[in-house]
Amino acid sequence: MADAAARLLAGNLVAFPTETVYGLGADACNGQAVKRIYEVKGRPTDHPLIVHIASMDSMRDWAGDINEYAIALAREFWPGPMTLIVKRSELAADFITGGQDTVGIRVPDHALALGLLEDAQKMGIKGIAAPSANRFGQVSPTTAAAVIEELGEYLHADDLVLDGGACTVGVESTIIDCTGDIPRILRPGAISDEMIAHSTGLEVIRTYRFIDDGAGIVWINKVEDVRVSGSLENHYSPAAKVYLDQPPQSGQGFIALADIPTPDGVIRLAAPSNNEEFARMLYVALREADLQGLSEVVVMQPIGPGIAVAICDRLVRAANGR
Protein backbone atom coordinates (compact mmCIF):
# COMPACT_ATOMS: atom_id res chain seq x y z
CA MET A 1 0.00 0.00 0.00
CA ALA A 2 2.85 2.39 0.81
CA ASP A 3 4.43 1.70 -2.58
CA ALA A 4 1.11 2.23 -4.36
CA ALA A 5 0.51 5.49 -2.47
CA ALA A 6 4.02 6.67 -3.34
CA ARG A 7 3.32 6.02 -7.02
CA LEU A 8 0.20 8.16 -6.78
CA LEU A 9 2.19 10.91 -5.10
CA ALA A 10 4.69 10.75 -7.98
CA GLY A 11 1.89 11.33 -10.49
CA ASN A 12 1.36 7.74 -11.64
CA LEU A 13 -1.90 5.82 -11.95
CA VAL A 14 -3.00 2.98 -9.68
CA ALA A 15 -5.92 0.71 -10.53
CA PHE A 16 -7.51 -0.67 -7.38
CA PRO A 17 -10.55 -2.70 -6.34
CA THR A 18 -13.62 -1.38 -4.61
CA GLU A 19 -16.73 -3.28 -3.60
CA THR A 20 -18.46 -2.07 -6.79
CA VAL A 21 -15.92 -2.21 -9.67
CA TYR A 22 -12.20 -1.58 -10.13
CA GLY A 23 -11.21 2.08 -10.33
CA LEU A 24 -8.36 3.81 -12.18
CA GLY A 25 -6.93 6.18 -9.59
CA ALA A 26 -4.80 9.33 -9.53
CA ASP A 27 -4.04 12.01 -6.96
CA ALA A 28 -7.19 14.12 -7.19
CA CYS A 29 -5.17 17.33 -6.75
CA ASN A 30 -2.65 16.54 -9.50
CA GLY A 31 -3.98 17.92 -12.78
CA GLN A 32 -1.39 16.16 -14.95
CA ALA A 33 -2.04 12.80 -13.33
CA VAL A 34 -5.79 13.22 -13.71
CA LYS A 35 -5.26 14.16 -17.36
CA ARG A 36 -3.70 10.73 -17.85
CA ILE A 37 -6.87 9.08 -16.53
CA TYR A 38 -8.80 10.73 -19.34
CA GLU A 39 -6.15 9.72 -21.88
CA VAL A 40 -5.95 6.09 -20.76
CA LYS A 41 -9.73 5.72 -20.71
CA GLY A 42 -10.39 7.77 -23.84
CA ARG A 43 -12.85 9.70 -21.70
CA PRO A 44 -14.28 13.15 -22.59
CA THR A 45 -12.60 15.78 -20.42
CA ASP A 46 -15.91 17.38 -19.45
CA HIS A 47 -17.08 14.11 -17.86
CA PRO A 48 -16.61 14.49 -14.08
CA LEU A 49 -14.71 12.07 -11.84
CA ILE A 50 -15.60 10.70 -8.42
CA VAL A 51 -13.18 11.49 -5.59
CA HIS A 52 -12.57 8.59 -3.20
CA ILE A 53 -11.72 9.54 0.38
CA ALA A 54 -10.59 7.52 3.40
CA SER A 55 -13.46 8.52 5.70
CA MET A 56 -16.33 10.97 5.98
CA ASP A 57 -14.02 13.18 8.06
CA SER A 58 -12.51 14.28 4.73
CA MET A 59 -15.83 15.47 3.28
CA ARG A 60 -15.11 19.06 4.30
CA ASP A 61 -11.94 19.10 2.19
CA TRP A 62 -14.00 18.65 -0.97
CA ALA A 63 -17.44 20.03 -0.14
CA GLY A 64 -18.24 23.71 0.13
CA ASP A 65 -21.68 23.06 1.58
CA ILE A 66 -23.16 19.84 3.01
CA ASN A 67 -26.84 19.26 3.73
CA GLU A 68 -27.84 17.57 6.98
CA TYR A 69 -29.34 14.63 5.10
CA ALA A 70 -26.05 14.16 3.20
CA ILE A 71 -24.27 13.80 6.53
CA ALA A 72 -26.93 11.31 7.66
CA LEU A 73 -26.41 9.26 4.49
CA ALA A 74 -22.64 9.31 4.91
CA ARG A 75 -22.91 8.13 8.51
CA GLU A 76 -25.17 5.23 7.59
CA PHE A 77 -23.80 4.02 4.26
CA TRP A 78 -20.06 4.86 4.24
CA PRO A 79 -17.92 2.95 3.69
CA GLY A 80 -20.21 1.67 0.97
CA PRO A 81 -21.43 1.82 -2.65
CA MET A 82 -22.77 5.38 -2.50
CA THR A 83 -21.51 8.60 -4.12
CA LEU A 84 -22.75 11.97 -2.87
CA ILE A 85 -22.91 14.97 -5.19
CA VAL A 86 -22.27 18.15 -3.18
CA LYS A 87 -21.31 21.75 -3.82
CA ARG A 88 -17.59 21.73 -4.44
CA SER A 89 -14.89 23.42 -2.39
CA GLU A 90 -11.92 25.29 -3.85
CA LEU A 91 -9.93 22.06 -3.67
CA ALA A 92 -12.17 20.41 -6.27
CA ALA A 93 -10.69 21.75 -9.50
CA ASP A 94 -12.38 21.88 -12.90
CA PHE A 95 -10.35 18.87 -14.09
CA ILE A 96 -12.21 16.81 -11.45
CA THR A 97 -15.69 18.32 -11.76
CA GLY A 98 -15.82 18.75 -15.53
CA GLY A 99 -16.24 22.48 -14.96
CA GLN A 100 -19.38 22.04 -12.84
CA ASP A 101 -19.93 23.62 -9.42
CA THR A 102 -20.46 20.20 -7.82
CA VAL A 103 -18.22 17.24 -6.97
CA GLY A 104 -18.89 13.56 -6.34
CA ILE A 105 -17.28 11.94 -3.29
CA ARG A 106 -17.43 8.50 -1.70
CA VAL A 107 -15.75 6.16 0.81
CA PRO A 108 -15.39 2.68 -0.73
CA ASP A 109 -16.07 -0.47 1.28
CA HIS A 110 -13.00 -2.55 0.41
CA ALA A 111 -10.08 -3.24 2.73
CA LEU A 112 -7.47 -2.79 0.00
CA ALA A 113 -9.01 0.46 -1.27
CA LEU A 114 -9.26 1.87 2.24
CA GLY A 115 -5.68 0.86 2.97
CA LEU A 116 -4.53 2.69 -0.14
CA LEU A 117 -6.56 5.77 0.74
CA GLU A 118 -5.25 5.83 4.30
CA ASP A 119 -1.60 5.48 3.25
CA ALA A 120 -2.09 8.10 0.54
CA GLN A 121 -3.62 10.45 3.11
CA LYS A 122 -0.56 10.04 5.34
CA MET A 123 1.55 11.19 2.38
CA GLY A 124 -0.59 14.30 1.94
CA ILE A 125 -2.95 13.07 -0.79
CA LYS A 126 -6.41 14.36 0.09
CA GLY A 127 -8.33 12.08 -2.24
CA ILE A 128 -8.04 9.68 -5.16
CA ALA A 129 -9.96 10.48 -8.34
CA ALA A 130 -11.06 7.17 -9.81
CA PRO A 131 -13.54 6.32 -12.55
CA SER A 132 -13.96 2.68 -13.54
CA ALA A 133 -10.77 1.13 -14.92
CA ASN A 134 -11.93 0.51 -18.49
CA ARG A 135 -12.05 2.29 -21.81
CA PHE A 136 -14.82 4.87 -21.89
CA GLY A 137 -18.30 3.48 -22.55
CA GLN A 138 -17.26 -0.15 -22.28
CA VAL A 139 -17.97 -2.78 -19.63
CA SER A 140 -16.58 -1.98 -16.18
CA PRO A 141 -14.00 -4.44 -14.80
CA THR A 142 -14.69 -6.43 -11.64
CA THR A 143 -11.34 -8.27 -11.52
CA ALA A 144 -7.71 -7.19 -11.83
CA ALA A 145 -7.31 -9.45 -14.86
CA ALA A 146 -10.09 -7.55 -16.64
CA VAL A 147 -8.30 -4.26 -15.90
CA ILE A 148 -5.04 -5.52 -17.42
CA GLU A 149 -6.87 -6.99 -20.41
CA GLU A 150 -8.63 -3.68 -21.06
CA LEU A 151 -6.00 -1.08 -20.17
CA GLY A 152 -2.66 -2.89 -20.09
CA GLU A 153 -1.43 -1.44 -23.38
CA TYR A 154 -2.22 2.12 -22.23
CA LEU A 155 -0.52 2.00 -18.82
CA HIS A 156 3.08 3.03 -18.11
CA ALA A 157 5.73 0.90 -16.39
CA ASP A 158 5.38 2.96 -13.19
CA ASP A 159 1.61 2.56 -13.05
CA LEU A 160 0.22 -0.24 -10.91
CA VAL A 161 -2.74 -2.63 -10.86
CA LEU A 162 -3.65 -3.91 -7.39
CA ASP A 163 -5.37 -7.29 -7.25
CA GLY A 164 -8.02 -7.45 -4.55
CA GLY A 165 -10.05 -10.30 -5.99
CA ALA A 166 -13.51 -10.09 -7.51
CA CYS A 167 -15.74 -7.16 -6.56
CA THR A 168 -18.58 -8.12 -4.23
CA VAL A 169 -21.30 -5.76 -5.53
CA GLY A 170 -20.48 -5.76 -9.23
CA VAL A 171 -22.23 -2.58 -10.41
CA GLU A 172 -21.24 1.02 -9.83
CA SER A 173 -22.23 3.08 -6.80
CA THR A 174 -25.55 4.84 -6.31
CA ILE A 175 -25.09 8.53 -7.13
CA ILE A 176 -27.21 10.90 -5.04
CA ASP A 177 -27.53 14.62 -5.72
CA CYS A 178 -27.38 16.30 -2.30
CA THR A 179 -27.42 19.92 -3.47
CA GLY A 180 -31.19 20.41 -3.14
CA ASP A 181 -33.65 20.28 -0.28
CA ILE A 182 -34.28 16.55 -0.79
CA PRO A 183 -32.05 13.77 -2.19
CA ARG A 184 -32.21 12.96 -5.90
CA ILE A 185 -30.95 9.68 -7.36
CA LEU A 186 -28.87 10.34 -10.49
CA ARG A 187 -27.63 6.76 -10.94
CA PRO A 188 -29.21 3.76 -9.19
CA GLY A 189 -27.01 1.26 -7.35
CA ALA A 190 -26.93 -1.06 -4.36
CA ILE A 191 -28.10 1.74 -2.02
CA SER A 192 -31.74 1.85 -3.08
CA ASP A 193 -34.24 4.69 -2.99
CA GLU A 194 -36.06 2.88 -0.17
CA MET A 195 -32.85 2.80 1.88
CA ILE A 196 -32.20 6.49 1.22
CA ALA A 197 -35.74 7.48 2.21
CA HIS A 198 -35.53 5.43 5.41
CA SER A 199 -32.17 6.96 6.35
CA THR A 200 -33.12 10.58 5.73
CA GLY A 201 -36.83 10.56 6.48
CA LEU A 202 -37.29 12.46 3.21
CA GLU A 203 -39.07 11.76 -0.03
CA VAL A 204 -36.56 10.77 -2.71
CA ILE A 205 -36.64 12.20 -6.21
CA ARG A 206 -36.28 9.45 -8.80
CA THR A 207 -34.91 10.52 -12.17
CA TYR A 208 -36.03 7.30 -13.84
CA ARG A 209 -39.19 5.45 -14.80
CA PHE A 210 -40.24 2.17 -16.38
CA ILE A 211 -41.87 2.06 -19.81
CA ASP A 212 -43.35 -1.08 -21.34
CA ASP A 213 -42.88 -0.78 -25.09
CA GLY A 214 -44.61 -4.09 -25.79
CA ALA A 215 -41.35 -6.03 -26.02
CA GLY A 216 -40.56 -5.94 -22.32
CA ILE A 217 -39.75 -3.45 -19.61
CA VAL A 218 -37.51 -0.61 -20.76
CA TRP A 219 -35.54 1.44 -18.27
CA ILE A 220 -35.45 5.21 -18.73
CA ASN A 221 -33.12 7.42 -16.67
CA LYS A 222 -32.61 10.99 -17.89
CA VAL A 223 -30.67 13.68 -16.05
CA GLU A 224 -30.03 16.80 -18.10
CA ASP A 225 -28.98 19.45 -15.58
CA VAL A 226 -25.87 17.75 -14.19
CA ARG A 227 -23.23 15.44 -15.66
CA VAL A 228 -22.25 12.39 -13.60
CA SER A 229 -20.36 9.17 -14.26
CA GLY A 230 -22.22 6.54 -16.27
CA SER A 231 -25.10 8.82 -17.22
CA LEU A 232 -24.87 8.54 -21.02
CA GLU A 233 -27.66 6.66 -22.79
CA ASN A 234 -25.12 4.31 -24.38
CA HIS A 235 -22.69 2.95 -21.81
CA TYR A 236 -21.49 -0.29 -20.17
CA SER A 237 -21.47 -1.89 -23.62
CA PRO A 238 -19.62 -4.99 -24.80
CA ALA A 239 -18.65 -5.44 -28.45
CA ALA A 240 -21.59 -7.84 -28.78
CA LYS A 241 -25.03 -6.39 -29.43
CA VAL A 242 -27.23 -6.67 -26.32
CA TYR A 243 -30.94 -7.50 -26.60
CA LEU A 244 -33.34 -7.40 -23.65
CA ASP A 245 -36.27 -9.61 -22.64
CA GLN A 246 -36.76 -11.73 -25.74
CA PRO A 247 -36.34 -15.45 -26.43
CA PRO A 248 -32.69 -16.22 -27.26
CA GLN A 249 -31.86 -17.88 -30.56
CA SER A 250 -29.25 -20.51 -31.38
CA GLY A 251 -25.75 -19.03 -31.37
CA GLN A 252 -26.63 -16.11 -29.11
CA GLY A 253 -25.27 -15.64 -25.61
CA PHE A 254 -27.78 -15.73 -22.77
CA ILE A 255 -27.87 -14.19 -19.29
CA ALA A 256 -30.85 -14.86 -17.03
CA LEU A 257 -31.77 -16.02 -13.55
CA ALA A 258 -31.14 -19.70 -12.89
CA ASP A 259 -34.82 -20.67 -13.00
CA ILE A 260 -35.05 -19.62 -16.66
CA PRO A 261 -33.98 -22.55 -18.88
CA THR A 262 -31.44 -22.34 -21.72
CA PRO A 263 -32.85 -23.20 -25.18
CA ASP A 264 -30.94 -25.61 -27.41
CA GLY A 265 -27.99 -24.05 -29.21
CA VAL A 266 -27.89 -20.99 -26.93
CA ILE A 267 -24.63 -20.20 -25.07
CA ARG A 268 -25.37 -19.68 -21.38
CA LEU A 269 -23.09 -16.96 -20.01
CA ALA A 270 -24.53 -16.64 -16.50
CA ALA A 271 -27.30 -18.20 -14.41
CA PRO A 272 -27.40 -16.23 -11.14
CA SER A 273 -29.65 -17.49 -8.37
CA ASN A 274 -30.78 -14.05 -7.16
CA ASN A 275 -30.55 -10.36 -8.03
CA GLU A 276 -27.45 -9.72 -5.89
CA GLU A 277 -25.61 -12.52 -7.66
CA PHE A 278 -26.93 -11.17 -10.97
CA ALA A 279 -25.19 -7.86 -10.27
CA ARG A 280 -21.91 -9.58 -9.35
CA MET A 281 -21.95 -11.74 -12.49
CA LEU A 282 -23.29 -9.27 -15.06
CA TYR A 283 -20.10 -7.54 -16.23
CA VAL A 284 -18.11 -10.79 -16.08
CA ALA A 285 -20.70 -12.42 -18.34
CA LEU A 286 -20.75 -9.54 -20.83
CA ARG A 287 -16.95 -9.67 -21.03
CA GLU A 288 -17.12 -13.43 -21.53
CA ALA A 289 -19.38 -12.86 -24.55
CA ASP A 290 -16.65 -10.80 -26.17
CA LEU A 291 -13.95 -13.33 -25.24
CA GLN A 292 -16.00 -16.03 -26.97
CA GLY A 293 -16.46 -13.81 -30.01
CA LEU A 294 -20.25 -13.74 -29.74
CA SER A 295 -22.00 -11.09 -31.81
CA GLU A 296 -25.27 -11.04 -29.86
CA VAL A 297 -26.31 -11.48 -26.23
CA VAL A 298 -29.85 -11.73 -24.85
CA VAL A 299 -30.45 -10.72 -21.24
CA MET A 300 -33.64 -11.33 -19.30
CA GLN A 301 -33.82 -8.40 -16.91
CA PRO A 302 -34.43 -9.10 -13.22
CA ILE A 303 -37.56 -7.73 -11.60
CA GLY A 304 -37.95 -5.98 -8.27
CA PRO A 305 -36.66 -3.07 -6.19
CA GLY A 306 -33.14 -2.60 -4.83
CA ILE A 307 -30.21 -3.82 -6.91
CA ALA A 308 -32.53 -4.94 -9.75
CA VAL A 309 -33.16 -1.29 -10.53
CA ALA A 310 -29.42 -0.69 -10.97
CA ILE A 311 -29.04 -3.80 -13.14
CA CYS A 312 -31.83 -2.65 -15.45
CA ASP A 313 -30.25 0.80 -15.71
CA ARG A 314 -26.93 -0.71 -16.85
CA LEU A 315 -28.58 -3.14 -19.24
CA VAL A 316 -30.64 -0.54 -21.10
CA ARG A 317 -27.51 1.53 -21.63
CA ALA A 318 -25.60 -1.57 -22.76
CA ALA A 319 -28.40 -2.39 -25.21
CA ASN A 320 -28.06 1.09 -26.72
CA GLY A 321 -24.48 0.14 -27.66
CA ARG A 322 -21.36 2.30 -27.79
**If DSSP states are collapsed to H, E and C, what string results for the chain?**
CHHHHHHHHCCCCEEEECCCCEEEEEECCCHHHHHHHHHHHCCCCCCCCEEECCCHHHHHHHEEECCHHHHHHHHHHCCCCEEEEEEECCCCCHHHHCCCCEEEEECCCCHHHHHHHHHHHHCCCCCEECCECCCCCECCCCCHHHHHHHHHHHCCCCCEECCCCCCCCCCCCEEEECCCCCCEEEECCCCCHHHHHHHHCCCCEECEEEEECCCCEEEEECCCCCCCCCCCCCCCECCCEEEECCCCCCCCEEECCCCCCCCCCCEEEECCCCHHHHHHHHHHHHHHHHHCCCCEEEECCCCCCCHHHHHHHHHHHHHCCC
Residue 162: left if φ>0, alpha if ψ -120 to 50, beta else—which one? Answer: beta
The residue type at 202: L
Which of 81-95, 180-194, 225-239 comes out lowest in average pLDDT? 225-239
The residue type at 277: E
Task: Report the greatest alpha carbon distance in the chain.
Answer: 59
Instruction: Determine the pLDDT at residue 97.
Output: 95
Q: Is 4 within 8 Å of 25 (Cβ atoms)?
A: no
Instruction: Determine the pLDDT at residue 227.
Output: 61
> How many Å apart are CA 216 and CA 211, to the nearest integer?
8
Q: Where in the chain is the domain with CATH 3.90.870.10?
A: 2-205
The mean pLDDT value for 45-57 works out to 95
The residue type at 147: V
pLDDT, the chain, mean: 92
The residue type at 34: V
Domain covering 2-205 assigned CATH 3.90.870.10 in the classification: yes
Q: Where in the chain is the domain with CATH 3.40.50.11030?
A: 233-319
> How many Å apart are CA 116 and CA 190, to the nearest integer?
23
Judged against a pLDDT cut of 50, whether residue 217 lies above it is answered with no
| Top-level class of domain 233-319 | alpha beta
Q: Tell me the pTM.
A: 0.93
Judged against a pLDDT cut of 60, whether residue 214 lies above it is answered with no
Backbone angles phi, psi at 73, to 5 degrees: -65, -45
Cis peptide before 79 (omega within 30 of 0): yes
Q: Is 37 within 8 Å of 131 (Cβ atoms)?
A: yes
pLDDT in tens, 244-293: 999 999 999 999 999 999 999 999 999 999 999 999 999 999 999 999 99
Judged against a pLDDT cut of 50, whether residue 215 lies above it is answered with no
The mean pLDDT value for 140-154 works out to 97
